[in-house]
Chains A and B, each alone.
Chain A
Amino acid sequence: MPLNEQIKILIIDDDPDYRMLVRDSIKNAQIINEIFEAETGEQGLEFLNHSCESNQSQMPGLIYLDVNLPGIDGLQVLKQIRSDARFQHIPVVMMTSLDEDREKIQAAEYGANSYTIKSSHPEQFINTVVTATRYWLGVHRHPEVRRICKSGTGI
């Protein structure tokens, strides 16, 4: 699959060191255009809103979302993303430090595409990036999706 398209990635996590490590591990992947970071759920949602309103589509092709966030909880952020027609197509990977079935099931119910346990081997992120890229190229380039985003209509 030709990876000549490029995607943007949004990382929403309250731990700056961890964000840096993730950034380090995926930065070298050629498919990545830009990496955005947000500290809280509110910041992340604001970024999404903003990216949709601008002329060129600045929409991220992948979101890494921490489950434990100060302020709005990670799952609530996910819910809001999924309930907004403008960005409900963006693949979201939940990140957590606990390997618990209950959390995984909840995340799936709220509409997460994938789930990863935070570890000190962030190299695993590469795999998710590749998978998400394939998905994104299939969906995001769809003209209908572009139109919805431009018009700004949500559900």
Chain B
Amino acid sequence: MRVSLKTKAIIVFTAFMVVLITLSADTLIKYETLRKQLADDSLKSDMVLELSNEIRLLTSRELIDTQRYLLRLEPTPPDELRVLSREVYYLQMRYLKLPLNQEERFLLERIRILNFRTEEQLTIAVYLRALGREEEARMQMLKTAPQVEVLLDKMNNLISLERLRYGHITAQSQATSVFLSRRIIAIVVVMAVLGLGLTALITNRVLRPIHQLSHATERIGKGELGISVSTRRSDEVGILAAAFNRMSQSLKKSHTELDQRNQQLKFALDEKEDFLRAVSHDLGAPLRNISGLAVSIEQKLGSALTPDARMRLDRIRVNAERELDLISDLLDLSRIKRQEGRIETVDIAATIKSVRDNLTFQIEEKHIRVVSPSDWPTIVADRNRIRRIFQNLIENATKYIGNTKNPTITLGWDVTDNGFQFFVRDNGPGVKPEDKQAIFYVFRRGGGVANTDGKGIGLATVKSIVETYGGQIWVESTQGAGATFYFTLNVSTGLETVSAEGLSHAAK
């Protein structure tokens, strides 16, 4: 049965509200009724008590005065007594207007009758006195005295009765508050139970699945793939769980695919690398031989050859060398681009010495003088790549220095805002203005001196490396007066103890 969570929640909440409202309304109504009744009764009680007390007071007075008169203590005329009696009568009438129960009414009626009789007799007494028949008046009074006593007695009864009722009212009000407190407890209990029920519903049906899902998501985030959550439910949570499972599977699938693709790529890259190595090896060997053979012919039969023939042999050599360089540079470029570098502290002085050693033969063959400062910085970079830069630039300088007198290669460096600037200068034929940009690009060659055509892609490799370090490379040259290759590297110095100067470098 597909009952959505929303519907369930609405039903529970509605039931909750209905029960609560019903209970509260019922309590309120009952309480109002009780309270009103209580108020009425209290009011009546007060009035009754008041009246009763008044009547009793008057009646007492009446009695006392009558007795006094009888005892001849004071000459209280019966008219005054009659007035009292009348007053009592009026009070009684007022009393009768109150809502009384049967018992009270009966009692009051008796009192009224007694009072009426008393009044009658008092009237007679008054007349007799007026007629001067004092003794007869006195006889009459004798009759009224016990009646007034009875009257008083009956009043006391009434008052006791009222007192009882007053006690009854107190009991009633207590009962009302007990009723109220019981109802309040009932409401609180109902609210608590329903509240707990609602919480249980939410926790079980909503929070627990959410917790499950977030836990599963975390696990996926950590790398576990293909996780699914149970989906026994058909409501919104169930839909979410199903969607989650689909997503998880999809993720796993694409992950697997990516892995496979990566493997394939890696394999392809390795294959390419192997291919390049094999090809460059196989391509290079015959070229080496061609060059070597040309040289050896020149050496063995040089004297027997014409200058023209010697020149052509040399051309064979040069061409073979050129192609060898190209193959070597191509291989370099591909390797440099692919290799992940290892960052370490590179001692430039050691690097340059190594490069110079490597090129000893070429340098000495052409009697090139190399000028280099005695101190070089240490930088944080990939050793091989830095070496490659210097190797290419210095080797180029030896290759293209031409036939200058006193061929000299000058090296130098300086500090920049972001790192260092280096230069390699030669006093060869220089670079043509139109070639100054082109020489750094693959397969676009500068024109050149008669003996040396093309600069291959060695400079393209250098440019690539320099740019990896956020730097730039350019050439300044005056034709016929040499060329200076400048390049910058945004690297930090590798010094452990940092001076104030060093700080500004290392911070970059």
Determine which residue in B277, B284, B295 has the highest number of CB atoms from chain A within 10 A of its CB, and name it: B295
With both chains docked as a complex, state the minimum distance between the C-beta of B321 and any C-beta of chain A, in angstroms: 7
> Are A98 and B331 closer than 8 Å at their CB atoms?
yes
Q: Is the interface of B mostly helix, strand, loop or mixed?
A: helix
Per the 8 Å Cβ criterion, residues 45-69 of A in contact with B are: 68
A21 x B361 contact (CB < 8 A):
no
Q: In whole angstroms, how far apart are the Cα atoms of A137 and B293 in the complex?
A: 32
Chain B 329-350 interface 0/1 with A at a Cβ cutoff of 8 Å (1 = within): 0010000000000000000000
Given the complex of chains A and B, what is the CA–CA distance between A119 and B292 in angstroms? 8
A144 at the interface (CB under 8 A from B): no
| Residues from chain A with Cβ under 8 Å of B291 in the complex | 120
Query: A124–B361 contact, CB under 8 A?
Result: yes
Which B residues from 410 to 462 make CB contacts under 8 A with A? Answer: none
> Are A121's CB and B361's CB within 8 A?
yes
Q: Which of chain B's residues have a CB closer than 8 A to the CB of A123?
A: 361
A122 contacts B by Cβ under 8 Å: yes
Is there contact, CB below 8 Å, between A21 and B293? yes
Indicate whether A34 reaches chain B with its CB closer than 8 angstroms. Answer: no
B286 to A, closest residue via Cβ: A17
Q: In the assembled complex, which residues on chain A have CB atoms less than 8 Å from the CB atom of B289?
A: 15, 17-18, 21
Contact A120 B320 (CB under 8 A): yes
Q: Which range holds the interface residue count of chain B?
A: 20 to 34
For B292, B295, B296, which residue has the most chain A Cβ atoms within 10 angstroms? B292
* Interfacial chain B residues near A18, Cβ < 8 Å: 285, 288-289, 292
The smallest beta-carbon distance between A94 and chain B, in angstroms, is 14
With CB as the reference atom, state the residue of chain A lying closest to B283.
A97
Instruction: Provide the residues of chain B in CB contact with A101, threshold 8 Å.
Output: 384
B281 touching A68 by the CB < 8 A rule? yes
A120:B331 contact, CB within 8 angstroms: no
Task: Decide if A98 touches B280 in the complex (CB within 8 Å).
Answer: yes
Judging by beta carbons under 8 Å apart, are B317 and A120 in contact?
yes
Q: How far is the CB of B377 from chain A (nearest CB, A)?
A: 23
A121–B321 Cα gap in the complex (Å)? 11
Q: Judge whether A24 is part of the interface by a CB distance below 8 angstroms.
A: yes
Tell which of B280, B281, B324 touches A120, judged by Cβ atoms closer than 8 Å. B324
**Chain A residues with CB under 8 A of B317:** 120
Q: State how many residues of chain A have any CB contact under 8 Å with chain B.
A: 16
Contact B296 A24 (CB under 8 A): yes
Q: How far is the CA of A20 from the CA of B296 in the complex (A)?
A: 10
Q: Indicate whether A98 sits within 8 Å of B281 (C-beta atoms), given known contacts A120-B324, A121-B361.
A: yes
Closest chain-B Cβ to A116's Cβ sits at a distance in Å of: 12
Once bound together, how far apart are the Cα atoms of A120 and B317, in whole Å?
Answer: 9
A118 at the interface (CB under 8 A from B): yes
| A17 contacts B293, C-beta separation under 8 Å | yes
Inter-chain CA distance A24–B297, complex, in Å, is 11
Contact call A120/B384, Cβ cutoff below 8 A: no
Closest Cβ–Cβ distance, residue B346 to chain A (whole Å): 14
Interchain CA distance A68-B285 in the complex, whole Å: 11
Q: Kindly state the separation between the CA atoms of A83 and B155 in the bound complex, as whole angstroms.
A: 142
| Beta-carbon nearest neighbor of B299 in chain A | A24
Shortest distance from the beta carbon of A37 to any chain B beta carbon, whole Å: 15
Which residues of chain A are near B361, meaning CB under 8 Å?
Answer: 121, 123-124
Interface string of A17-44 (1 = CB under 8 A from B): 1100100100000000000000000000
Contact B280 A97, beta carbon cutoff 8 Å: yes
How distant is the Cα of A120 from the Cα of B287 in the complex, in angstroms?
9
With known contacts A120-B317, A120-B321, A97–B296 Cβ distance under 8 A: no
Complex contact A21–B292 (CB within 8 A):
yes
Which residues of B in the span 121-147 have a Cβ within 8 Å of any Cβ on A?
Answer: none
Q: Do residues B295 and A120 form an inter-chain contact, with CB atoms below 8 A?
A: yes
Residues of A within 8 A of B285 (CB): 15, 18, 97, 118
Cβ contacts under 8 Å, B295 to chain A: 120-121
Interface positions, chain B 301-355, Cβ under 8 Å from A, are 317, 320-321, 324, 331
* B284 partner residues in chain A, CB cutoff 8 A: 97
A98 contacts across to B, CB distance below 8 A: 277, 280-281, 331
Residues in B neighbouring A118, C-beta threshold 8 A: 285, 288
The residues of B that contact A68 with a CB separation of less than 8 Å are 281
Expressed in whole angstroms, the minimum distance between the Cβ of B359 and any Cβ of chain A is: 11
Q: 8 Å CB contacts to B: which residues of A86-115? A: 97-98, 101
CB-based nearest B residue for A16? B289
- Please report the C-alpha to C-alpha distance between residue A93 and residue B289 in the assembled complex, in whole angstroms: 20
Residues of A within 8 A of B320 (CB): 120
Given A24-B296, A98-B331, A120-B288 contact (CB < 8 Å): yes
CA distance A122 to B281 in the complex (A): 17
Provide the residues of chain A in CB contact with B288, threshold 8 Å: 18, 97, 118-120
Task: Kindly identify, within residues 208 to 229 of chain B, every residue whose CB is under 8 Å from any CB belonging to chain A.
Answer: none
- Complex Cα distance, B289 from A123, in Å, reads 14
Q: Which residue of B lies closest to A118 (CB)?
A: B288
**Additional pairs, 13, CB under 8 Å, beyond known A21-B289, A21-B293:** A17-B292, A18-B292, A21-B296, A68-B281, A98-B331, A101-B384, A118-B288, A119-B288, A120-B287, A120-B288, A120-B292, A120-B324, A121-B361
7 A-B pairs with CB atoms under 8 Å apart are: A17-B292, A21-B293, A21-B296, A24-B296, A98-B281, A120-B292, A121-B361
Q: Give the 9 A-B residue pairs with the shortest CB-CB distance, closest first.
A: A120-B291, A17-B289, A21-B292, A120-B292, A120-B288, A97-B281, A97-B284, A24-B296, A15-B285
